[in-house]
Structures are given as structure tokens and as C-alpha cells.
Amino acid sequence: MASAFSIRHFILGLLTREPMSGYDIKRFLKGLGWLIDSPSFGSLYPTLHALLRDALVTVEVIPQQDKPPRKIYSITNAGRKTLRKWTDRSGVSGTSLKAFLMRLILAGNLSHDDLIAHLERRRTQVAAHLEQTVGAAEREADMGERLALEYGLAMANAELVWLDSTLTQLSHRS
Amino acid sequence: MASAFSIRHFILGLLTREPMSGYDIKRFLKGLGWLIDSPSFGSLYPTLHALLRDALVTVEVIPQQDKPPRKIYSITNAGRKTLRKWTDRSGVSGTSLKAFLMRLILAGNLSHDDLIAHLERRRTQVAAHLEQTVGAAEREADMGERLALEYGLAMANAELVWLDSTLTQLSHRS
DNA sequence: TACCGCATGTAAACGGTTACATGATTAC
DNA sequence: GTAATCATGTAACCGTTTACATGCGGTA
């Protein structure tokens, strides 16, 4: 049901920024480091083929000498529509870090207000999680479990700090 | 190749703490919140059956009236051996957050020195990643990409802070 | 009345990785 | 001479989710 994240949508999202080849997409994701572990070619290329089949993207084949041709994919209007539908519904239920990050990366497509709304939604979610776990860490007797919970709390707090400072910066620039 | 993480090993690890049922395991993982998204019953129960088949765990069936019997699983010596083998080799290559967290949760099984070594390995990895990305965020022109990179840097920094303070605490208590 | 917690289980579907194939060019 | 980068692709495999089945007791 409404899978929170899939490379299908991520690819579609990246293509709203600019046309890219499969290899380009892979390199881009790898460049983001550990935040999002980039998919293997074994899933990347077949996904691109499927998007093409569903007419959500088009290809332009650029031949090269002594190398396989570069295949530059561009998103179509149908693709944009599909992406928007997914974006709209994932805003409501999407709690996953990956979904949040994808929308963040695609911030260029969002209006100023939409970006702020996105960060504020995340803030609400993180704050709720924090409140839910804050007591558990102190109560916990087992060292390992306590360490893990404390780690989680530290990360959640750090995220709140980042979200707040980013939100402040954005509102100043508005 | 040497999959960095699997519920098989996680379950085995949890059973070194105390015997548990499948339902117990699920509840425990759910209690940890968003850190590790707990596996569904559809993978949990079959995994337990496979572990039993491989004699890495044993079961004790405790009947209940009007409810399915509780099946309490305990780890065997063979199971402990398998877990240790995995633990040893994952210490070398395991870069994933999940693998780190699992070992953290299982800290009770580790010696004081092994726990410190584990945290220090993580520290090295996070620091390396930080160094690798720190320039990229400033150079980046696209707002979304820059935001995502800055987010990653903020999280990595926060993790270093937590690791350092935890390491300090542990060395004082040694 | 309807949903949540307890407690187990199965089968189909899905999404992804791993490993393979091809092959030139540049760097250590 | 060995590895990495560029650049695409396929097929087998695997772990996991989703959806189903069963059924009682407590709660909103």
C-alpha cells in the first residue's frame, strides 16, 4: 500500500532537474554518500526501461565511438503527473527518512512555502518520536538497549536543531 | 558477499540476551522506534523456523487457553558460534548503520574493551565520511542538493559528538 | 460496533542485489 | 600488469512485505 519510497519515483524526481543517463543517476546518488545508498545497475537500468515503456520518460540515444551509446532520459508530462500524485500522498503518510531526503534534494522544484511546509512536517514527526522515547532511555536497565536509545535521542535532537536553524534561515530569506 | 546485516543474525543476537518468542522480538524492535524498522511477521516466523531447522535455536512450547501457544526460542551453542563468526567478520567490513546499531544493542555481550573498539571503529568511519563530503556542500550550487549535503554533515557531526562523549564516559567507568 | 493487542502461521508478489557479459581508455 | 572509469545490459536468486487465515478479550 502506497510504498513510501521507490527508485521509480526517485528517478522521476531527478529527471525533473535535468535529463540524465542511468550512469549519471548512479554517479549522482553515489556522490550523496551514505545518506541514500544508490541502487545497483541491476535495478537502475530495468527501472528506466519500465519508465520508458509506461511513457513516463523518453530517451535520446547519443552514439559514441568505441563506447556504448549514452542514453539520456527525459521526463514526460505524464511522468510529472505521476510524480506529483506520489508526492502529494507521500506528504501525508511518508515518515521514512528516504522520502524526506528525496523531497529535500528535489527542493528546487518546490515553492518556498512548500519547502518550509516540508521541513515543518518533518519537525513535527521527529519531535513526536523524541517525546515518545525520551522516558524509555532512562528507565532502561540493559546497557546496550540504553546506549541504542540514547544514540537515537542524540540523533533526533541534532535533527531538530538542524531543522530549526534551516527554517530560520529560510524565513529570513523569504 | 558477506551481507552486512540480516534478521537471522539479529534474532540470534537478541536470543543471547534472553529466550524470546517471535512476538516478543517484534515488540522489542518496535520499541526501539525508528532506528531499526522491525521486520514483519511474514519474515520473522519463517526465519525462526529456519534457525530451528539448522539447530541454531531450540523451542519450548507453552500452551495457553484460548490463544495460540507461545513458542519461546533459545539460542544453542551452535547458534552462538555462528553469531560469533558473523560478528568477527562484520567488524571488518560492516559500514552500515544497522550493523553498528545491532552490535550496540548487543553491547551486554561484549567486553568493555570490545565495546570501546566498536565505537572507535564507527568514529573512524564517520570522520572519514565527513572529511570526504565537507567540501562538496559549499561547492554545490543547487539548493536541494546543498540542503541534503548539509543535513548529512549535521548528522555526521552530531554522531561524532555522541560517540566522543560516550567513549569518554566509558573510559571513566573502566 | 469496531478496532487493538495477543499469538501464530502461509503463499504470492515484489524490489532489489549479485554476478555475469562486453570492451575501450586512462592512471598507478 | 592491474585496476578504475566509462557505459550498457540480462538472469538468477534472495529477503522481505503484503495480504490472507484464525480467534479470543478488552476497550473506545
pLDDT in tens, B136-174: 888 887 999 999 999 999 999 999 999 999 999 999 876
Q: What is the pLDDT of residues A49-63, one digit of tens each?
A: 999 999 999 999 999
Judged by DSSP in three states, A12 sits in helix
From the list A129, A143, A155, the residue facing B155 with the nearest CB is A155
B122-128 contacts: CB < 8 A, separation 24 or more? Answer: B122/B159, B122/B163, B123/B160, B123/B163, B123/B164, B123/B167, B125/B95, B126/B156, B126/B159, B126/B160, B126/B163, B127/B160
With a cut of 70, say whether residue B1 has pLDDT above it: no
Cα separation, B58 vs B54, whole angstroms: 10
Least confident of A115-129, B70-84, B136-150: B136-150
Question: Which pLDDT score is estimated for B144?
Answer: 93
Beta-ladder partners of B72: B60
Statement: residue B75 has pLDDT above 90: yes
Instruction: List all nucleotides in chain C with at least one atom under 7 A from a protein Cβ.
Output: 6-12, 15-20, 22-25
> Cα(B128)–Cα(B150) distance, rounded to whole angstroms?
16
pLDDT of B129 over the 80 cut: yes
User: CA nearest A104: which of A116, A89, A86?
Assistant: A116
Whole-prediction pTM value?
0.91
**pLDDT at A2 (0 to 100):** 43
Q: Are B123 and B164 in contact (CB under 8 A)?
A: yes
Contact at CB, A34 and B151, closer than 8 angstroms? no
Residue (of A11, A4, A71) closest to A44 by Cα position: A11
Name which residue leads in pLDDT, B168 or A1: B168
Q: Does B112 touch chain A (CB under 8 A)?
A: no
Q: How many CA atoms lie within 13 A of B135 on its CB side?
A: 3
- Going by pLDDT thresholds of 50, 70 and 90, the confidence category of residue B67 is confident
| The predicted structure's pLDDT at residue B99 | 86
Of the listed ranges A113-122, B1-10, B111-120, the one predicted with least confidence: B1-10
Is residue A107 less than 8 Å (CB to CB) from chain B?
Answer: yes
Cβ–Cβ under 8 Å, residues B126 and B159: yes
SS3 B27: helix
Q: Touching check for B159 and chain A: CB below 8 Å? A: yes
Show residues, CB within 7 A, near nucleic chain D.
Answer: A 1, 3, 21-24, 27, 41-42, 45-46, 48-49, 64, 67-71; B 3, 6-8, 37, 39-43, 46-47, 66-68
* Average pLDDT of chain B to the nearest whole number: 90
Which residue in A32, A144, A155 is closest to B105 by CB distance? A144
High-pLDDT (> 90) share of chain B, %: 64
Chain A stretch 28-87, residues whose beta carbon is closer than 8 A to a beta carbon of chain B: 31-35
Across A24-46, average pLDDT = 92
Supply the pLDDT for residue B4: 57
Provide the 3-class DSSP secondary structure of residue A67: strand
